[in-house]
Amino acid sequence: MMPVIRSIRPRSFLTLVLIGFIAVALPLLAAILVASLQVDRLARQSEDAVYRTVQLTHGGRSLVDQLTSMERSVRQYLVLKDESRLTAYDASHAEFQGTVTYMLALQDDDGRRRELQELAERERHLFETLRGQELDPGRSDEAVAEFAQLADLARRILAEANAVVGHQVDVMREMAGQAQSFLVWQALGVVPLVAVLAVVFLTLIARPLGQLEQAIRRLGDGELYESVRVGGPRDLETLGQRLEWLRVRLLELEEEKKSFLRHVSHELKTPLTAVREGAELLADQVVGPLSPQQREVTDILHNNALRLQKLIEDLLAFSRLPEVRASEVRREPVRLDRLAESVVADHRVGALARGLRMRVSAQALTLEGDRARLRALIDNLVSNAVKYSPKGGRVDVRVGEDQDGVFLEVQDQGPGIPAQDRPRVFDAFYQGRVQPGGPVRGTGLGLAIARECAIAHGGEIRIIDEPGSGTHFRVTLPSARVTSRAP
């Protein structure tokens, strides 16, 4: 079926829709036409059968009546000697012979035709006998008695004609049943054919539209490393080619952006390091004592230098993420529980300064993955939790395994993420409506980096909706990467 589908390539999408409509409608129109012809044939045959049987029945009654009339005319002549009776007899004889001839033309049964011919021959012989002699009671009684035998034969023909009516009714009922069966089998053949044609053309119509939808979604999600291929009508193929050109152009711009970020970040790191070290030397009063106003300025320089350093490090990490997703990450055994404890330990000083309690609940798991990327993932989530937690709050870090795979959860007691911010919270450089306190502001890259690291390992990161319990992130990684569950 698929080679046939691929071979159908109309010039435009509307032409494909029109061809599909015609292809689906033609079997239905053909079925309607055949059904109409079948009903018309049945109606004509029924009309002909009814007409013949009615005429045969009427003719049979006429034969009986005409024989009775001839017998009565002959007997009246024998009694009254009225010549008009012979004239009436001659007229009844001619009418009788005409009725027989008409019935022979209608009759299609050989046995009944022979009976009619026999009746006509015997009546003709009787007529010739009676008209060929002088009619008187003595010589004509025997010939007149022949009318009774002819009347019996006519009545038998009438009874057979009446029986033909019932037979024709049975024949028409059988024909109607055959026509009904034919129409049912025709429907059983046409309906699957129409269904197959509908499926074929729905596939032809839906497949390129689905390819376009997937291509647009990938471009919208920033997945620029897979080529856009759209089959089907030529106008849709042309649209797919334009999307492929757009993908290539966006990829070039992405590469230029990454190159710019790398160059700017590297160029800024050297002078920034000098500024930060100079601020630290001033703060340590290595070059001499500082007044309170000078110390305040030094602290401002030091804090902003730290902020710039964090921003540059995040920019460098983010610029390298597409390369990590496009290629295989480095795989090595990583104790995820120990890595989480190590990251939490690095943040304990900052947490103590804010009066935060850090709690780790980790199941011993060894995972195959990129240690640096996994550490960056955990570090960004924990850093985010520490940053947004209120003073005296608590940050919970959990590592374990369930039916979905290996999970890492980080939960704080902060204000949470507003519903309107959730669709974009993992976008690069996006900063929500709620901002943490403190001198060092975020860059909007931490959660984007965490998501990219999770995707690079075949996992996902999502927000657990728990109203009134702060922010709760859950990272799920494939359990197939687990190599050991023992410490």
- DSSP of 289-341, one letter per residue? ---HHHHHHHHHHHHHHHHHHHHHHHHHHHHHHHHHHHSPPP-EEEEHHHHHH
Sequential DSSP letters for 159-213: HHHHHHHHHHHHHHHHHHHHHHHHHHHHHHHHHHHHHHHHHHHHHHHHHHHHHHH
Would residue 220 count as lying in a domain? no
Last residue of a domain, one of 294, 327, 360: 327
Claim to verify: residue 62 and residue 196 sit in the same structural domain: yes
- Between 82-86, 365-369, 477-481, the lowest mean confidence (pLDDT) is in 477-481
- Give the residue with greater pLDDT, 436 vs 22: 22
The pLDDT of residue 465: 78
Claim to verify: residue 305 and residue 354 sit in the same structural domain: no
Tokens for 165?
Answer: 């009516």
Claim to verify: residue 272 and residue 172 sit in the same structural domain: no
Question: Three-class SS of residue 60?
Answer: helix
Name residue, tokens 């900063």: 431
Look at residue 332 and tell me whether its pLDDT is greater than 70.
Answer: yes
Last residue of a domain, one of 172, 203, 234: 203
Name residue, tokens 């079948």: 38
- Averaged pLDDT of the chain: 77
Question: Three-class SS of residue 359?
Answer: strand
Would residue 428 count as lying in a domain? yes
CB atoms within 10 A of CB 439: 11
Look at residue 260 and tell me whether its pLDDT is greater than 80.
Answer: no
pLDDT digits (tens, 9 = 90+) for 166-201: 776 777 777 777 777 777 787 777 778 878 877 787
Claim to verify: residue 362 and residue 317 sit in the same structural domain: no
CA distance 244 to 316: 29
Query: What residues does 396 pair with on adjacent strands?
Result: 359, 411
Look at residue 207 and tell me whether its pLDDT is greater than 60.
Answer: yes
The pLDDT of residue 61: 85
State whether the Cα torsion 415-420-426-430 is positive or negative. Answer: negative
Look at residue 213 and tell me whether its pLDDT is greater than 80.
Answer: yes
Look at residue 79 and tell me whether its pLDDT is greater than 60.
Answer: yes
- Between 188-197, 211-220, 476-485, the lowest mean confidence (pLDDT) is in 476-485
Look at residue 423 and tell me whether its pLDDT is greater than 60.
Answer: yes
Q: How far is CA 434 from CA 167, 416, 461, 466, 471, in A?
A: 94, 9, 21, 17, 12
Evaluate whether 283 touches 295 at the Cβ level (below 8 Å): yes
pLDDT digits (tens, 9 = 90+) for 352-394: 877 888 888 888 888 888 888 888 888 888 888 888 888 888 8
Q: How far is CA 33 from CA 19, 40, 270, in A?
A: 21, 10, 87
Would residue 239 count as lying in a domain? yes
The pLDDT of residue 210: 82
Would residue 217 count as lying in a domain? no
Confidence band, pLDDT 50/70/90 cuts, at residue 91: confident
Domains contained in the chain, number: 3
Claim to verify: residue 169 and residue 27 sit in the same structural domain: yes
Instruction: Provide the 8-state DSSP code for 412.
Output: -
Look at residue 48 and tell me whether its pLDDT is greater than 80.
Answer: no
Kindly tell me the burial class for residue 294, based on how many C-beta atoms sit within 10 Å of its own C-beta (0-12, 13-18, 19 or more): middle
Look at residue 328 and tell me whether its pLDDT is greater than 50.
Answer: yes
Please name which of 67, 100, 65, 71 lies closest in space to residue 85, comparing C-alpha atoms.
Answer: 71
Would residue 221 count as lying in a domain? no
Name residue, tokens 């997945």: 223
Would residue 218 count as lying in a domain? no
Q: What percent of the chain has pLDDT over 70?
A: 82
CA distance 340 to 377: 10
Question: Three-class SS of residue 135?
Answer: coil
Last residue of a domain, one of 278, 297, 327: 327
Buried b or exposed e, range 108-144, using 16+ CB within 10 angstroms: eeeebeebbeebbeebeebbeebeeeebeeeebeebb
Question: Three-class SS of residue 365?
Answer: coil
Instruction: Provide the 8-state DSSP code for 390.
Output: P
Look at residue 8 and tell me whether its pLDDT is greater than 70.
Answer: no
Average pLDDT of 453-465?
A: 85
The pLDDT of residue 132: 65
The pLDDT of residue 4: 45
The pLDDT of residue 136: 53
Evaluate whether 472 touches 388 at the Cβ level (below 8 Å): no
Average pLDDT of 301-306?
A: 72
Q: What is the CATH number of the domain that holds 172?
A: 1.20.120
Q: What percent of the chain has pLDDT over 90?
A: 1
Q: What is the CATH number of the domain that holds 344?
A: 3.30.565.10
Claim to verify: residue 118 and residue 190 sit in the same structural domain: yes
Claim to verify: residue 245 and residue 383 sit in the same structural domain: no
The pLDDT of residue 5: 44
Structural element, H or E, at residue 482:
strand 482-484
Claim to verify: residue 46 and residue 21 sit in the same structural domain: yes
Would residue 356 count as lying in a domain? yes
Claim to verify: residue 274 and residue 406 sit in the same structural domain: no
Confidence band, pLDDT 50/70/90 cuts, at residue 322: low
The pLDDT of residue 3: 47
106 is in which domain, residue-wise? 2-203
pLDDT digits (tens, 9 = 90+) for 92-138: 888 888 888 888 887 777 787 888 888 888 888 878 777 765 555 55
Cα–Cα–Cα angle for 251, 254, 255, nearest 5°? 90
Evaluate whether 367 touches 477 at the Cβ level (below 8 Å): yes
CA distance 258 to 346: 29
Claim to verify: residue 317 and residue 344 sit in the same structural domain: no
pLDDT digits (tens, 9 = 90+) for 55-67: 778 887 888 888 8
CA distance 57 to 161: 5
Claim to verify: residue 316 and residue 337 sit in the same structural domain: no
Evaluate whether 272 touches 305 at the Cβ level (below 8 Å): yes
Give residue 291's Cα distance to chain centre. 77
Evaluate whether 379 touches 342 at the Cβ level (below 8 Å): no
CA distance 315 to 457: 21
Contacts of 34 (CB under 8 A, 6+ apart): 186
Would residue 282 count as lying in a domain? yes
The pLDDT of residue 326: 42
Q: What is the CATH number of the domain that holds 239?
A: 1.10.287.130
The pLDDT of residue 1: 44
CA distance 75 to 296: 156
Claim to verify: residue 294 and residue 339 sit in the same structural domain: no
